[in-house]
């Protein structure tokens, strides 16, 4: 009896490990990282065909299979600018989803595709649909909507107002909020607006974050980046102050503390 049980467990384990959909998607992601996008899309489409067959046979879709639709939509949108195909992948995920765990990411991908198409009305409808589905999603939808207005619609005044409000919303993941700060600052630097980039990073100091260690990690990066900007403006004294704050922040991220230390030593060497 024990031998039979062991053999059965081994068969179950092998079956669980034998997931051709997951294997194809893993290969696709690896190919995409190597910029072999045509081959990656071939793997993705092969995986989706297998998922379709599972559904037709009345079988359940694995987590990898459902998550694969997100990757497929993103790949079609970003690598090929094939918005029709990206929407088709997301719409299929919506049809197959039986709960909001998968409906929400499908609609998020659709919103991103509509944004890429500059169809902001449909993108807004997607965000509104997600927010209306459950109160939990209302706060998380504030950030992408604000980013759409600021970046895609180029309405900086309204966008800054909405982004400022979202950055102060403690219900939104702090990593997501700091990611937006970094994105805004990077764009400002690309446009040659260093003062604007400084103001974006400075918002990190006012951003409510419950966990002290998490707040320190973001602050160490913000202060280091602000130091770099000040140094690029020839403001050595201000740069040194910021580098020192980043370096001495006890719970700060170690790589930025180390970079701040090296930057300080470099300034001192040339003084």
Give the domain CATH number at 46.
1.25.40
Q: How does DSSP classify residue 150?
A: I
Closest C-alpha to 119, from 162, 71, 153: 153
Q: Do 111 and 184 fall within a single domain?
A: no
Residue identified by tokens 């995920």 is 93
Pick from 134, 165, 199: which residue ends a domain? Answer: 134
Domain count, the chain: 2
The verdict on pTM exceeding 0.75 is yes
In a domain, 65, yes or no: yes
Q: How does DSSP classify residue 59?
A: P
Pick from 134, 165, 189: which residue ends a domain? Answer: 134
User: What is the pLDDT confidence band of residue 18, given thresholds at 50, 70 and 90?
Assistant: low
State how far the Cα of 104 lies from the Cα of 90, in Å rounded to an integer: 10
Pick from 97, 119, 134: which residue ends a domain? Answer: 134
In a domain, 139, yes or no: no
In a domain, 154, yes or no: no
In a domain, 193, yes or no: yes
Is the pLDDT confidence value at 9 over 60? no
State how far the Cα of 96 lies from the Cα of 83, in Å rounded to an integer: 20
Q: Do 101 and 186 fall within a single domain?
A: no
Closest C-alpha to 203, from 179, 239, 231, 234: 179
Is the pLDDT confidence value at 160 over 80? yes
Domain range for 114 = 39-53+61-134
User: Percent of the chain at pLDDT above 90?
Assistant: 87
State how far the Cα of 238 lies from the Cα of 204, in Å rounded to an integer: 18
């Amino acid at each position: 009896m024990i031998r039979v049980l062991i053999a059965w467990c081994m068969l179950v384990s092998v079956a669980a490990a034998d997931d051709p959909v997951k294997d194809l998607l893993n290969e696709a992601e690896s190919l995409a990282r190597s910029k072999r996008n045509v081959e990656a899309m071939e793997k993705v489409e092969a995986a989706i065909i297998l998922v379709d067959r599972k559904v037709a046979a009345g079988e359940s879709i694995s987590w990898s299979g459902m998550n694969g639709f997100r990757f497929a939509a993103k790949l079609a949108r970003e690598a090929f600018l094939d918005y029709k195909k990206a929407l088709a992948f997301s719409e299929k995920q919506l049809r197959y989803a039986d709960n909001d765990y998968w409906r929400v990411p499908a609609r998020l991908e659709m919103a991103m595709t509509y944004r890429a198409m500059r169809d902001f009305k449909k993108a807004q409808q997607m965000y509104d649909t997600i927010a209306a589905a459950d109160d939990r999603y209302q706060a998380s939808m504030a950030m992408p909507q604000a980013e759409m207005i600021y970046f895609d619609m180029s309405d900086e005044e309204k966008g800054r107002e909405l982004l400022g409000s979202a950055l102060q919303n403690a219900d939104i993941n702090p990593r997501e909020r700091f990611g937006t700060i970094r994105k805004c600052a990077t764009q400002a630097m690309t446009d040659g607006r260093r003062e604007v980039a400084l103001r974006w990073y400075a918002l990190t100091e006012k951003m409510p974050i419950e966990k002290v260690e998490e707040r320190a990690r973001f602050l160490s990066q913000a202060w280091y980046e602000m130091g770099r900007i000040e140094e690029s403006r020839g403001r050595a004294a201000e740069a040194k102050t910021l580098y020192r704050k980043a370096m001495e922040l006890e719970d700060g991220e170690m790589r930025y503390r180390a970079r701040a230390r090296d930057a300080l030593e470099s300034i001192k060497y040339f003084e």
